[in-house]
Amino acid sequence: MNERGIKLIKEFEGCRLTAYRCPAGVWTIGYGHTEGVYSGMRITQEIADKFLRNDLIKFETAVLAYNYLYKWNENEAAALTSFAYNCGTGSLKNLLKNGSRSRSEIRSAILLYNKDINGHYLAGLARRRKAELELFNTPCASAEAPEKDYKTVDDIVDGIWRGDFGTPWSKSDLLYKYFLKKVNERRR
């Protein structure tokens, strides 16, 4: 997930540092985080950002499951991660038709996800889909590893998260798997 994708998610999700019930009645906090949230819960901005980073792993993984077919560039992966974060991994599978749609078909189909669960058009969802499509269509420069001195594994993991190496999956699947392992270790 690159900074452009994170910025897009933050812009459309908004951030609340006090727990609230979402329209579906689920206790929610931060940028749409729901796990372990309870009435009266309060968090800091730093915790909200940490929740977002951790929550993104599930959706990035869902997008990466199709990388062997599409070889996503950084912006395509970020746009689809934002889409999945908002609509869910099931909707991502539908959008991609389980890997059978072309990029052109994906571009056309993403704009159709602009309705609530009752089928009502929502202008906010239409704006979000348009922003995701713009990010999806934005070309990427080839990302080479920066000339930095990484002294520890944590430095490397932080560098991967910041995007110092491009998107992790553009370097190697092993690097990304290692990154996920280290992130999960930090979560414990």
Catalytic residues: 13, 22
Cβ neighbours of residue 41 closer than 8 Å, sequence gap 6 or more? 18, 19, 27, 29
- What is the Cα 129 distance to its own chain's centre? 14
Residues β-bridged to residue 115:
121
**What's the DSSP call for residue 142?**
P
Q: Are 51 and 43 in contact (CB under 8 A)?
A: yes
How far apart (Å, rounded) are the C-alpha atoms in residues 33 and 105? 31
**DSSP element (H, E) containing 20:** strand 16-21
